Structure 1
């Protein structure tokens, strides 16, 4: 979680997410932020975030003049953000407003979490907060980004980068992946899964997956991975192997690897481990305290392996994860 809620500028309450909208901002990423952080979620029985928009001007012309945004808070709202989502836009060579860059710098200095969707990485880099840090940017602008900001450690061809208090997503759709990752980081896998169901969106795509996934029109209608994925998800407690997945899909292991790479941007084993980690997290959140039981039911085998996979995937031990996200936490 960000440290921004401790700066004393507002009363305690739900974690506040503020989005800065600037001239020529992309409506899609604004919509992603609103969907993930701004909607009320009565099915959860609590509000996850206090969400608001702000802008440097009373009227903000959105990308290509699609519409003009009015009626939002002024830029001072950024100073009360626990998480600040910075503006993005297609004209990456045009400098951001000095007032916007100053707001980003102030937020960073007081410990707020910063998020950039798509070309938002340019805003963060221009503000100077990404020097020496890891970041993601859309593959189309990778060369321009490296040339303009050589001090930033750009990670090409990944969906998003979580560098602690600064997170960046590569492209438009990756904004949803990063948004759900943040919800998972803040509230756990069970809540993130609930949000993803409402979005009708994949509950978890790891940030290390490829940005550009080749999706040629299939020659045959049965090349979709959906059936074998659904089959595997119902059997995560079984010792599934890549060979078994391939047999279920009626293809060779090599063909299965190619399809996973083409359709999901990852490997069968990495996908399977990610699904098992998510299930393990949800079991812990639901109150299962016996690590051997969690490991067995999630297919991770032993408590020792569970600890390794959880620490690698969440940065937390099972005990620390239970304390943060388990029943009665928070």
Structure 2
């Protein structure tokens, strides 16, 4: 992929933002049409079902593994160069932040990526929750909450000055990640078959995983020719939401991949919803739901930044290159979400009217 003419024409920063925009559009369209949502999958699983939401999430996760690992084998990216792999990871941050994020996405009725997609379709609940999420994420990144994040993250750090590659740790060959992804995909397709999920729905679910691979390939290609260091990254929403918010408030802020990603997801989801006739304004049903959503958004903002990524950033993007703390965070998100559903939502349903 020769991107040199484009970079020479518009510059490195605008090129990075353009790649983020393209990645975001693919993600937004696919996520809106597939109804991809980790929160929905965990709730469904917590209530003893292996339905369409679990199938969609598992297919997205597995196809991300397949696409990204195939790209690595073909030389289109190097997982060891990715930002989240090349720096020390935090086991304590992954555990504590993952539990907080999982609880928050149940209370807010969607993870950060899902909130952005829903906001593009006219869901005002998601607009409010998304803004709170972005503000708290920024506070956790470099504001008043940053010292607390630093202390919690420092409790247990990976050794060796970098994160742990699960494939290397397990002694698996280079193609081991691709094989694992294919195995998960077979399981996802079997669950989808039992739930009679249509082909188009499955195609869009796999498109979410494809968007993750596109982001990795774009940023890796740019890093190979850029004069200034370029972070090798892909789809995530904790850091990008905070940086996009600051970009709109600071006229001197620099263009980067993250700044293009968030608007791209919004535009892609909006276009997909408009094409399907699904644009509709929605608000909070009552004060209780509003309060839960605001608390959940705040938990996701802090938890996602502490965990090193959100349900997408850690759960799919980091998982696709087998970052150990990302897999840990994903597991804890599932646990936090299922416990919150059990203690809050299911208990509420069981109470007499």
Larger RCO (CA within 8 A; separation ≥ 6): 2
Bigger proportion of residues as helix:
2
The interval holding the TM-score normalised by the smaller chain is under 0.3
Alignment TM-score, normalising by the size of structure 2: 0.23
Structure with the bigger percentage of strand: 1
